[in-house]
Amino acid sequence: MSEIAKYGATAKWLHWLIGIMVIIMLLGGQTLESLPLSERQQIIMVHSGLGTLVLLLMIVRWYWRMNHEVPGPTSAMGPLQIRLSSWMHWGFYVLLVLQPVLGIGQAMFIADYEVVAFGVINYSGLAAGNAELARVFHVMHGLNALVISALVIGHIGAGLYHHFVQKDDVLRRMWPGGKVGQRSS
């Protein structure tokens, strides 16, 4: 079992930065759909730019995770809780890489407007418009967003459960400046 008591600065920065960006993207994505085309094109510049950043940060995070030890399960966690937590964490890694990739796929084939991330990367210029393929990627991007939303809710719930019910250090060890060792670990 891991001897590490808490996450280091790199892991904490990546966790909170990606977490905040993903929540903004999930909430913002829903409103995107109802905007008129001209406004949508403007907002999509930011949406696709932030999404591209999430992809790059997730690659860094994945690389970091493969090369560092992380704090292990606490003594209060049963086998099912340990398994669920591991599935949830690896689920995030897979789905948060997949989500921007599906967004880029959608952007490449959209015919109604251009998707230019931060006004710099023109994803729509990478392939000829194809309404059928754009629709497939659109549906997968939307469905994956729903699964990620469920994971986010479960993840926040699990963090609060650890902190307030199991009263362990799980939330504190990822919290900026969090002190561990005062509760059971």
Tell me, by CB under 6 A, how many residues bind ligand HEM.
28
- Within 99-128, the residues that bind ligand HEM by CB under 6 A are 99-100, 103-104, 106-107, 110, 115, 117, 123
Determine if 92 is a binding residue for ligand HEM (CB under 6 A): no
Q: Say how far apart CA 45 and CA 51 lie, in whole Å.
A: 10
Q: Does 73 bind ligand HEM (CB under 6 A)?
A: no
Give yes or no for a contact between 10 and 18, defined as CB atoms under 8 angstroms apart: no
Reference 159, options 43, 74, 46, 58; nearest CA is 74
Q: Which one of 19, 91, 142, 154 is in contact with ligand HEM (CB under 6 A)?
A: 142
According to the binding rule CB under 6 A, does residue 22 interact with ligand HEM? yes
Is 25 a binding residue for ligand HEM by CB under 6 A? The answer is yes
Report helix, strand or coil for 146. Answer: helix
Give the whole-angstrom CA distance, residue 132 versus residue 10.
Answer: 41
CB of 128 closer than 8 Å to CB of 108: no
Q: Which residues are within 8 A (CB) of 132 and not within 5 positions of it... i.e. 6 or more apart? A: none
Q: How far apart are CA 4 and CA 19, in angstroms?
A: 22
Could you give the string, one character per residue 50-69, with x where binding to ligand HEM holds by CB under 6 A and - elsewhere?
Answer: -xx-x---------------
Q: How far is the CB of 17 from ligand HEM (least distance, A)?
A: 12
Query: Which spans of this chain sit near ligand HEM (rule: CB under 6 A)?
Result: 22, 25-26, 29-30, 32-33, 40, 44, 47-48, 51-52, 54, 96, 99-100, 103-104, 106-107, 110, 115, 117, 123, 141-142, 145
